[in-house]
Amino acid sequence: MTVDDSTHDLSDDVLERHERIADEVLSRDSYDLLIDGEWVASESGERAVARDATTGGALAEYWAGNREDVDRAVAAAKNSFEGKWGEQSPVQRGEYLEELADRVADEKTRLARLDSLEVGKPNKHSLFVDTTVVEDQLRYFAALARTADEGRRPPSSSDKHVYTREEPYGVVGAVGAWNFPAMFVAWKLGPALAAGNTVVYKPSSRAVLSTLALAELANDVLPPGVVNVVTGSGSEVGDALTGHEDVRKVSLTGGATAGRKAMENAAADATPVSLELGGKSPNIVFSDADLDQAVEGAVVAILFNQGQQCTAGSRLFLHEDIREEFLERLADRVAEISVGDPLSPMTDVGPMVDPEHAAAVREYVDAAREHGATAAIEAAVPDDLAAAPFVPPVVFEGVDDDDRVAREEVFGPVLSVFEFVETEAVVERANDTTFGLAAGVWTSDLERAHEVAADLDAGTVWVNTYNDLFDPAPHGGFKASGIGRELSKEAMDAYRQAKTVKISLGGIPNLG
C-alpha cells in the first residue's frame, strides 16, 4: 500500500497494520480488465486508484474502462455463449461452479481482508458472513444447475405433442454495488452461469479489488469469455453495458437512481431487467417480544456493515409498554459495541466506505438534530481513528415520520425510534414509504406474527430475527426496492426464458 498525501492522519499502529495486510493480500499493484480470458488494458488509457477506506492510502491502480471495452467484453461473452460454454450440459456447468467454490474456500481469508481494506468492513463480518455467502451461493447454484427442470410437458391432445424448454438469455450485463462487493459477484454469477449464460460484470468504482480477485479465480476455472470484468464509472461503463444491444439480460444492485437509469438504457431493446435497490426498513417490537433477542436484532439491523446495507432496519417501532426498558437495554448493548479498525478481530463497526459517503451520512445526522431530534444513544470513535471517515452509531428520538432521516435511505449507522400502541396503526406507518425491501417483527404471538407479516409491504419479513440471508430463500423488494429475486431458485429462473414447442401429429388447427 502506498501512503501518500491523501492518507488520513492516523496512528502509526493503524497505518503499519494496514500496510502489512495490504502487502499480504494484494496480488499486484496494478489491475487490468478481464476480457475473453485475458488481462488487457483499457482503450481509454485512463487509470483509477483503489483506496483504503480507513487510511485513504492507495492500494492499487485499475483501468477506468470505456464503451469500447464494453463492446469487446460483450463480443467475447457472446462468442463464448455461442461456442464452448453454450455446449456445456447443466451437469458440467454445475461442476465448474463447484470448482470455483472450492477456489473461493481456499481464498476466503484474502478476499475478506480485501473488502475490509477497501470498504472498511469489520474483518469478522467479511470473513464469516460475506465470503461464506459467496461460497455457499456458488455451491447452491451448482447443485441447482444439475437438478433444475429444463422444461416440462403440458397436457397434450392425441394429435399434438407439447413441451417447453428453459433456455438461457445469452450475455448478461451485471452491475454490482460497493457495500458487499464480493458477495454480489456470487449473487449474480451463480444463477447466471448455472442457467447457461455468460457474463460481463461491472463492479462499483468504490470497491473493485475483491471482484478482480474473484475474477482471477474464475478465469483459472472457466472457459475464456464466460466471465468478463470491465471496471469504470457507471456513466461510462454502466450505461454502455445496460444499454448494449447484444446484452440480453441486465441485473443491477445499487441505488434507486442507478436502477432507473439501467431500466431506461435497457428499454431501447426491451431487455429484461432485475434490480435490487434501496430500502427504509421498519423493525417492529411488540410488548410480548423477548427483549434480549429484540435488542440484539435491532443492533444487527442497523449496525451490521455500518448501516451500509439496503435492508438496514433504520426505523425502530417500539410498543409504548416496553419503550423505556428497551432503550435502556439498547444503550447498554451499544456501549459494548467495538467501533474501530476493520482489520482488528474485535471490531464490530468500521468506517464508512470513503469521506464523501461519511459526509453525506453526517448531513442526515445534522439535519435530524436541526429538526428537533435528540440522540438518545451515541457511540464514540477511538482517538487513534478520529481522522478516518467514521460516523459514530447514533439512535434518535423525537423524529417525525415525515423527517428526511425517517423517509430517505441514510445508508449509515443512524437509527430513528418511534412509539406505537395499535397494531393496525404501526403497520400503516411501516408501509408509509416508497421502499419495500425488508421488515422485522418481534413477538411471541404466532398469530400476530403471521398477520403482521402478511400486511407488511416488504419482500422479506424477518420474525424474531434480522438480516438472515444465509438460507436459499427468495430475496428482493416490493415497490421502489426492486424487481425480481436473488439467492434462490427464483434467481436462476430470472436468467432463463421459456420456449414452447408444439408438434402436430395430425394436421393443422381448424380455424374455420
Catalytic residue positions?
276
Q: What angle do CA 404, 406, 407 make, to 5 degrees?
A: 65
Cell numbers for 81, please give them: 455463449
* Residue 11 burial (CB count, 10 A): 15
For residues 295 and 277, what is the distance between their CA atoms, to the nearest angstrom?
Answer: 27
User: Which residues, 6+ apart, have CB-to-CB distance to 176 below 8 Å?
Assistant: 184, 185, 188, 201, 202, 203, 204, 211, 253
Cell numbers for 362, please give them: 453526517
Please report, to the nearest 10 degrees, the dihedral formed by the alpha carbons of residues 6, 11, 15, 18 taken in order: -120
- Provide Rg for the chain, Cα atoms: 24
* Residue 12 burial (CB count, 10 A): 8
**φ, ψ (nearest 5 deg) of residue 372:** 100, 0
Q: What is the DSSP string of 351-417?
A: --SSHHHHHHHHHHHHHHHHTT-EEEEE----GGGTTS-----EEEES--TTSHHHHS---SSEEEE
Q: What is the DSSP letter of 224?
A: T
Nearest to 114 by CA among 218, 21, 215: 21
β-partners of residue 199 are: 172, 227
Work out the end-to-end distance of the chain between its first and last CA atoms, rounded to an integer number of angstroms: 78
Write down the residue that cell numbers 438472515 correspond to: 468
Whether 308 and 353 have beta carbons less than 8 Å apart is answered as yes
Nearest to 160 by CA among 512, 510, 511, 509: 509
Alpha carbon of 138 to those of 124, 144, 273, 374: distances in Å?
21, 10, 22, 45
Please report, to the nearest 10 degrees, the dihedral formed by the alpha carbons of residues 52, 279, 263, 245 taken in order: 40
For residues 424 and 421, what is the distance between their CA atoms, to the nearest angstrom?
Answer: 9
Angle of helix 131-147 relative to helix 108-119, nearest 10 degrees? 130
